[in-house]
Structure 1
Amino acid sequence: MVNTTAWAFRGLLLAGALLTLESCSGPALRASEPPAPEPVLLTVPRTARLVPSGVKDREGWAQAVLDALEAQKIAPTVEPICQVLAVIEQESGFQANPGVKDLPRIVRRRLDAYAGKLGVIGRSALKALLQHKAPGESRTFEKRLKGVRTEQDLDRFFRDLLEAYERHYPAFYSAADLASELFTSKRLAELNPITTAGSMQVSVRYAVEQDDGEHSEQEVREQLYTRAGGVHHGTSRLLGYPAGYPQPVFRFADYNAGFYASRNAALQAQLSRLTGRRLLLDGDLLLYNDQGKPRDEDSQSLSALLAFRQRHAPKLSERQLRKDVRKEKEASFEKTETWRALKQAYERVTGERPAYARLPEVTLQSPKLSRERTTAWFAHSVDQRFQRCLARHRVQTP
């Protein structure tokens, strides 16, 4: 006869032993699994090896990139380093003060066109102004203009030209009220084609805003023409804001088209599908003036959003929608009622998960460009350089 009590006791002992073994060996077994690799923090020498081989002073560029990442509190791992290096290579070919092809002709054409609006008075005033010299200069502005080669040359030319204009202004327009209203120092400053500057072609307006009043605009411009200053402001512009992009190519597009342009272009595409309205997918839900401030009139995207509200989100008030859209250049836009309503409606109507980002459709216009380009072209071009940088790292890593 089998002793059931004894077998039951043995079963309990075996179960307890197994539990004890599992509790003792579990952590040990888990500890034996290979831990996730620690991110590799690159030094100056290792970063320098990621800079294209033909670049002069590769360690100097590497130091500038690492300093800029430190200022943004970003760990110097290979991905952010390669992102910054890719933009530098694309924008200037590692030139702190890049040259611009045909710069004297570009500027003279803009000056002549503007002065020509005033007829004989404007042309005479411009001719007289260009015959003056800045203090300490042996050359007239006319001769200096013929010799400008870099962005910094032109910035300094315009700075001195405006000072001369303000100094000699009464002699030009003692009795020309119309001319005085049109041919002003502010208008002359607007003719300066240099709105982005330095090795990463950072928006001057952005750099001035980030400086927070510590320096004048001209001082900020001078900073941009140094290696350290250009990389510092450019890295801030490229990586200094949160975004849930699945690939860096969308951040490269934002660098060209504006904060969250890729995210907002995806929303515009979804809005277009829900409303049946054809929209320009440029990443701007509002209209903006030259200073980057929202204008009063409604954009096509905002009109489409208002139509979407009536059809798909009647509980969302127009007042709330207009308030939400003002956050389109911020991460917080994704927490607004408008964002949630549109994304939910898109999934409900189409049965598809709404994309977070897409490349915006923007045609680039700049006197610095020799031919028509787009934001998508820019983003893909930078991304190719980024991928080559990653490939250099893989080759160099044992």
Structure 2
Amino acid sequence: MTEAQARTLLLQLLPSRISDRNGWADDILSAFTHLRIPYTAEYFCAANSIIEQESTWQGDPTVPGLPDIAWKKIGEKAWEKHVPLIAVKTALLKTSPDGRSYKERIDTLRTEREMNSIFEDLSADAARLGLPLSMSNPIHTGGPMQVSVAFAEAHARTTPYPYPLKSTIRDAVFTRRGGVYFGVAILLQYPMQYSDMLYRFADYNAGRYASRNAAFQSALARVSGKKVALDGDLLAYVNGTASKTPSDVEQALFAIEGKLGMGRDAIRRDLLTEKTIGFGQTQLYRKVFALAEANGRTMPRAVLPNIELVSPKITRKLTTAWFAKRVEGRYQTCMARGG
């Protein structure tokens, strides 16, 4: 379909009563075009549903209680360095780059974009303020699709950001256009064919390939008889790096290495590909499923990861499965608009 036809379809799929429908359509269609994502109702509705779930169609979503969250983060940094919070608050009475005091800006916070801007200024201004502590930015996700800043920065290193960059990739995440671009990238720009879009929504929350990996964990638990967490992480990680300490998955695999006909080094080699499409073609993946299905039972190739969501913004018990199912409901509503 042409770009003009895609825009017509997208406008049909967008909710009728959102603010600036044409602006949203421009940014979504632009993201699809630059990322070379196919123009389909399914993919448009997938992106629309994440936006609706994460920000209710607000380009810079408001977060209730954000001043309290910011002061808590500042208090934690002060406590780590044994600096009295009163001393920090006194320093923050000084004028910030926008003309207001830091304290005033923190006390009137409404959005993550504002909070990100404050901590970026604090990080650059710590010496002048006389703060003997690091004021590194604690904001890790942002924008209308709540994209990981780390993902956006990594993506931009391999795929040039297609829009004029006023400052940094971090700041771009907090704009509507940048947030949508990187959100569409993490949701749709990776090769995975699930039987249901539900699992792509779970991956968006838990990490790419998490639903496939949770299915592998389920099959492994059946073969080994061991308790294995269905969280989509096959290795143990420390600060995003695979640890040498064996995970519960590795321990369960070591217990059946004779059945697998694979040594521990070979098992580890295949597990190190867990964040890629290639893991599904490894010897380890095929052998675990073959053993799990030896009695004729068919095991699923995708399972919703069992992860409890933790964030200062979350005030009740929520899980990845809850998130995926909520987005799935919005997705079905969107698809119905397409007739």
TM-score, normalised relative to structure 2: 0.92
Task: After superposing the two structures, state which structure 1 stretch, 71-80 or 331-340, moved more.
Answer: 71-80
Q: 1:255 aligns with which of 204, 225, 228?
A: 204
Q: What are the Cα deviations for residues 226-247 of structure 1, in whole angstroms up to 9, with x where unaligned?
A: 2221111001000011112100
User: Whose Rg is larger?
Assistant: 1
Separation in 2, partners of 1:63, 1:39: 15
Q: Is the 8 Å Cα contact of residues 94 and 129 (structure 2) preserved in structure 1?
A: no
Partner of 1:212: 157
What letter is aligned with 1:157?
Answer: I
Q: Alpha-carbon deviations, 1:179-212, whole Å to 9, x = none?
A: xxxx3x2xx325x2x2111111111110010010
Which residue identity lines up with residue 127 of structure 1 in the other structure? K
Show structure 1 runs of 5+ residues with no match.
1-37, 174-182
Separation in structure 1 between the aligned mates of residue 3 and residue 118 of structure 2, nearest angstrom: 46
C-alpha distance after superposition, 1:2-50 (max 9, x if no partner): xxxxxxxxxxxxxxxxxxxxxxxxxxxxxxxxxxxx9999432331121
Query: What is the deviation of 1:125?
Result: 4.1
1:272 counterpart = 2:232: no
1:267-320, Cα deviation, whole Å (9 max, x unpaired): 101111111111210000012223x2212211111211221223x21x212111
Q: Which SS does the other structure have where 2:299 is aligned?
A: coil
Q: Take 2:64 and 2:219, find their aligned partners in 1: how far apart are those partners?
A: 41
| Amino acid in structure 2 at the alignment position of 1:293 | T
Provide the rounded CA distance (Å) in 2 between the counterparts of 1:219 and 1:321.
Answer: 40
Structure 2 gap ranges (5+): none
> Are the counterparts in 2 of residues 253 and 375 from structure 1 also a CA contact under 8 Å?
yes
Partner of 1:340: 286
Task: Indicate the residue corresponding to 2:191 in structure 1.
Answer: 242
Aligned to 2:136: 189
The equivalent residue for 1:362 is 307
Q: 1:91 to 1:220 in 2, by over 3 A?
A: same
Q: Which moved more, 1:79-88 or 1:46-55?
A: 46-55
Task: Give 1:91-240 correspondences, 5 Å limit.
Answer: 91-119=54-82, 121-135=83-97, 137-169=98-130, 183=133, 185=134, 188-189=135-136, 192=138, 194-212=139-157, 219-240=168-189
Aligned-partner Cα distance in 1 for 2:257–2:5:
49
1:53 to 1:272, Cα distance in 2 relative to 1, 3 A: same
- State the identity as a percent: 36
Aligned counterparts of 1:354 and 1:42: Cα–Cα separation in 2: 40
Aligned residue identity for 1:71? H
Q: How many residues align?
A: 335
Cα 1:245–1:40 shift into 2, 3 Å: farther
- The one-letter amino acid of 1:95's match is Q
Give the match for residue 85 of structure 1: 48
Q: Which letter maps to 2:6?
A: T
Asked if structure 2 preserves the Cα contact closer than 8 Å seen for 1:208 and 1:217, the reply is no
Equivalent AA in structure 1 for residue 117 of structure 2:
R
- Where does residue 72 of structure 1 map in the other structure? 35
* CA deviations over 1:146-184 (Å, ceiling 9, x no partner): 011111100110011112213344xx55xxxxxxxxx3x
Contact residue 60 and residue 111 of structure 2 kept, 8 A: yes
Checking the alignment, whether the CA contact within 8 Å between 1:41 and 1:75 is kept in structure 2 is no
Aligned partner of residue 63 in structure 1, secondary structure: helix
Q: Per-residue deviation at 1:218?
A: 6.4
Distance in 1 (CA, whole Å) between partners of 2:87 and 2:243 is 34
Contact 2:9–2:41 under 8 Å retained in 1: no
Structure with the greater relative contact order (CA < 8 A, sep ≥ 6): 1 or 2? Answer: 2
Cα deviation, 1:114-137, whole Å, max 9, x if unaligned, reads: 323454x343542343122223x3
Separation of aligned partners in 1, 2:58 and 2:87:
36
Checking the alignment, whether the CA contact within 8 Å between 1:40 and 1:77 is kept in structure 2 is no
Tell me, in whole angstroms, the C-alpha distance in 1 between the residues paired with 2:290 and 2:27.
44
Map of 1:325 onto structure 2: 271
2:246 to 271, 278, 298: 298
Query: Residue 56 of structure 1 is aligned with which of 19, 22, 41?
Result: 19
**TM-aligned CA deviation for residue 55 of structure 1:** 0.3
| Superposition deviation, residue 142 in structure 1 | 1.1
**Aligned residue type for 1:357:** A
Whole-angstrom CA distance in 2 between matches of 1:295 and 1:278: 20
Report the equivalent of 1:353. 298
Higher helix share: 1
SS at match of 2:62: coil
Q: Distance in 1 between matches of 2:167 and 2:248?
A: 37
Instruction: Please name the residue that 1:14 is paired with.
Output: none
Give the match's secondary structure for 1:323: helix
- Mapped to 1, the partners of 2:129 and 2:105 lie a distance apart of 18
Kindly provide the amino acid, as one letter, of the partner of residue 295 in structure 1.
S
Deviates further, 198-207 or 46-55: 46-55
Partner amino acid for 2:89? Answer: K
**Distance in 1 of aligned mates of 2:273 and 2:116:** 33
